[in-house]
Structure 1
Amino acid sequence: MFASAATKQTKQTFLGLAQKRFNHDLIISSKTGRPIIKRGGGGRSSSSGHVVTVFGCTGFLGRYLVNRIAREGAHVIVPYRDEDDMRHLKVMGDLGKIIPMEIHLRNKDSLEAAIRHSDTVYNLLGRDYETRNFSFEDVHVEAAGILAELATKHEVDRFIQVSALNANVDSPSRFLSTKAKGEEVVRSAFPNATIVRPSAMYGQEDRFLARLAMSRGLSIRINEGTTKVRPVNVADVGAGMRIMLDDPKTVGQIYELVGDQEYTYAQLLQFIKETTNQDLGEINVPKPVANMIAKALNFLPWQTVGADEIERMMIDDKLTPGAKTFEDLGIEPTSLELTGIQYLRRFRSNLYTDDPLPKGVVGKKKVYHTQYL
């Protein structure tokens, strides 16, 4: 997608100081012919030459991706609906590098304004549950298609679409089926789009480990806890998506980004119990009962588990043959067993917050937690 155009070293003079310029400082887009020029020695006060729009930047993955891109000097457009949700992003880049723009998914002009000056668009938009204002189809399919069409209209170089592991149009989960349909409409409008399918992500303020740990030692299991998952550190996903910004080999590819090890939910719950030193027993909830409880909880005015999330907890994580992984990006995934204490410590009682973990076995890997505290 990008091709090097400069063939020799040159010098530029600014305020009497000579700055060396090299061939890798100038990149010409083979798609549009537009130059992307790097300036400075690197870091947030330099310029990577990129103008990037990150839809979904106020979400969990969004903050990690914006931080990765902005600290290398890119201009990052951060579309938002609520100003309070994007304030923490403004300090991730140098002055003037983070550009907030108010949008609404049903206002096409606002979406177009956020795209028209960018060379790369990331679409991280997604919902774990439906609301009265936005359904899965509205966000995962319709909005994704509009963004891809606008990116094509304005000759954007790269479009990177975040989907989900296990995305399948025939999935019993509407979340996963609409994610797969979203991939199709994006590829239809922008054939060279890069598709990223992460597994369940964990990290600070996640909705995976934290949700499991909030039971405070009472393991509530769905499907007897036998469903297999491969949780991935959100920082690793952000790092992988940063590489896609410049690497031409990632154009048009599908990446499935998963953790280094497979677990059952029962193993994860046991790991959480050992880490938090809480164990109130366990209870298996049949799927029909779990669905009824989830539907009843959805009438509450705050976010709860949805019925579709119960459906997803019945589906094993499986890699698609031929899909690329972290290995193709040169990244070694972080081990949950070595870093989980960082995210679970807050669920411990104050009586033993700083106590080390005992040696133990989680999944198939033997872990000596104490050296990582």
Structure 2
Amino acid sequence: MLSASNVLRVQRIAISRGKRALHDLVTLPGRKPIVSSGTPGYSAVSGHVVTVFGCTGFLGRYLVSKLARMGTQVIVPYREEDEKRHLKPMGDLGQIVSMEWDVRNEEQIAECLRHSDIVYNLVGREYETKNFKYSDVHVSGAERIAKIAAQAGVPRLVHVSHLNASTSSTSHFYRTKAEGEERVRDAFPAATIVRPGQMYGCEDKFLNNMASWPIWWKLNHGETKIRPVHVMDVAQALTNLMTIPQFPGTISLPGPRTLTTEYLLDMVSSLTYTPPSSAPVLPKSLALALAKVAQAPWWPLISPDEVERRYIDDVDVPGDWEAVGVTPDEIENHAITYLRRYRSAENFVRPAVFPARSS
């Protein structure tokens, strides 16, 4: 007859066997096997320790939320104290670990990633400042993170770039993104380069800007082609990469369809029940001049490079969504969620009427 202690031991073994399966085991090069345990969800233990540089940005907050919801311990490097406060309740007690860092401080970077088995680099800038130029963040900063991750023996590095990254682009933003990819590959050959398209979501600078400042999106007569993608789809794709031991190469994550800015402006107008903007289409030279003047405030309204990007079509490349196990959703299925707040009280509950779809 089994003793009470043996009965409890058998019960624990049975429970553990019932909660674990082969897919719960991940073996990373040079590291011990990672075994997840516990019931699925917020209070589980995924076994992973992850560092997310750029966690306080638009995409970063959704990635941290998805990782923490799986029971992953997430290191969240921050520059300003108040920028990371909303990340703390995303994980269970002790699972969200905040650490101060600076992109130029190698010791701080090493301290942030030395315990991690996967590092995400989401750091980027939409405009330049006197302290940080595009090259400081997209090139030197990305290379520094990749180099230190390689020196620390981190098995996985996921570097987020942009769909339109190209060394021959007329946009300085896109050129530095492409140069940063090359530097990352040189420093960390097994890195995964992720190229998402223009992302939209609750705090985006895409749909919200179209609703607030449509004049800047009428540039190029609304003919610029964009492949918008939901930020939640990109965050889920990045989360799924965590379970893959190795995935070197480049992954493109464009939206499911190519749309013109004219169609998107019509969609925003139909959802907000505001008449289309009657402002004239600004010539490119005048728009660039106004953008230079807009650099005077501490928070620039628009940069000259953003104006340049309004004239660049998204590249026509196939998406690699199947490789990351995600099916991207159409923008029409989510836009009302983010644009309803721009309606007046009179039209707040009216149904939306979409314009005819563009190809």
Residue number in structure 1 paired with 2:350: 355
Where do residues 160-309 of structure 1 align in structure 2 (5 Å cutoff)?
160-215=158-213, 221-248=218-245, 251-279=247-275, 280-309=277-306
Aligned CA distance change for structure 1 residues 282 and 271 (closer, same or farther; 3 Å): farther
What is the identity, as a one-letter code, of the residue corresponding to 2:25? L
User: Would the aligned equivalents of 1:219 and 1:283 in 2 still touch at CA under 8 Å?
Assistant: no
Where do residues 6-85 of structure 1 align in structure 2 (5 Å cutoff)?
17-18=12-13, 19-21=15-17, 22-29=21-28, 31-85=29-83
Residue segments in structure 1 that go unaligned for 5+ positions in a row:
1-10, 365-373
- State how far apart, in whole Å, the 2-side matches of 1:274 and 1:24 are: 46
Where do residues 119-130 of structure 1 align in structure 2 (5 Å cutoff)?
119-130=117-128
Aligned CA distance change for structure 1 residues 135 and 14 (closer, same or farther; 3 Å): farther
User: 1:311 Cα shift?
Assistant: 0.8
Correspondence for 1:91 among 89, 98, 119? 89
**After alignment, is 89-98 or 354-363 more displaced?**
354-363
Partner of 2:280, secondary structure, is strand
What is the identity, as a one-letter code, of the residue corresponding to 1:246? T
Correspondence for 2:310 among 309, 313, 316? 313
What is the identity, as a one-letter code, of the residue corresponding to 1:62? G
- State how far apart, in whole Å, the 2-side matches of 1:329 and 1:28 are: 18
User: 1:28 Cα shift?
Assistant: 2.3
**After alignment, is 173-182 or 297-306 more displaced?**
297-306
| Identity among equivalent pairs (%) | 44
Aligned CA distance change for structure 1 residues 12 and 319 (closer, same or farther; 3 Å): farther
Aligned CA distance change for structure 1 residues 93 and 158 (closer, same or farther; 3 Å): same
User: Would the aligned equivalents of 1:12 and 1:20 in 2 still touch at CA under 8 Å?
Assistant: no
- State how far apart, in whole Å, the 2-side matches of 1:334 and 1:102 are: 35
User: Would the aligned equivalents of 2:66 and 2:239 in 1 still touch at CA under 8 Å?
Assistant: yes
User: 1:327 Cα shift?
Assistant: 2.9
**After alignment, is 176-185 or 37-46 more displaced?**
37-46
- State how far apart, in whole Å, the 2-side matches of 1:284 and 1:86 are: 39
User: Would the aligned equivalents of 1:226 and 1:264 in 2 still touch at CA under 8 Å?
Assistant: yes
User: 1:258 Cα shift?
Assistant: 1.4
Aligned CA distance change for structure 1 residues 196 and 129 (closer, same or farther; 3 Å): same
User: Would the aligned equivalents of 2:267 and 2:354 in 1 still touch at CA under 8 Å?
Assistant: no
Correspondence for 1:109 among 104, 107, 110? 107
- State how far apart, in whole Å, the 2-side matches of 1:66 and 1:75 are: 10
Aligned CA distance change for structure 1 residues 188 and 286 (closer, same or farther; 3 Å): same
User: Would the aligned equivalents of 2:267 and 2:355 in 1 still touch at CA under 8 Å?
Assistant: no
User: Would the aligned equivalents of 1:194 and 1:254 in 2 still touch at CA under 8 Å?
Assistant: yes
Higher helix share: 2
Equivalenced residue count is 349
Aligned CA distance change for structure 1 residues 305 and 12 (closer, same or farther; 3 Å): farther
Partner of 1:362, secondary structure, is coil
- State how far apart, in whole Å, the 1-side matches of 2:297 and 2:144 are: 32
User: 1:328 Cα shift?
Assistant: 2.7
The Cα RMSD (Å) is: 2.0
Residue segments in structure 2 that go unaligned for 5+ positions in a row:
1-5
What is the identity, as a one-letter code, of the residue corresponding to 1:154? A
Query: Is residue 326 of structure 1 aligned with residue 321 of structure 2?
Result: yes
Correspondence for 1:335 among 327, 330, 339? 330
- State how far apart, in whole Å, the 2-side matches of 1:80 and 1:60 are: 14
Aligned CA distance change for structure 1 residues 218 and 297 (closer, same or farther; 3 Å): closer
Higher strand share: 1
- State how far apart, in whole Å, the 2-side matches of 1:93 and 1:292 are: 46
User: 1:140 Cα shift?
Assistant: 0.3
Aligned CA distance change for structure 1 residues 15 and 139 (closer, same or farther; 3 Å): farther
Residue number in structure 2 paired with 1:139: 137
Partner of 1:45, secondary structure, is coil
User: 1:219 Cα shift?
Assistant: 7.5
- State how far apart, in whole Å, the 2-side matches of 1:63 and 1:191 are: 27
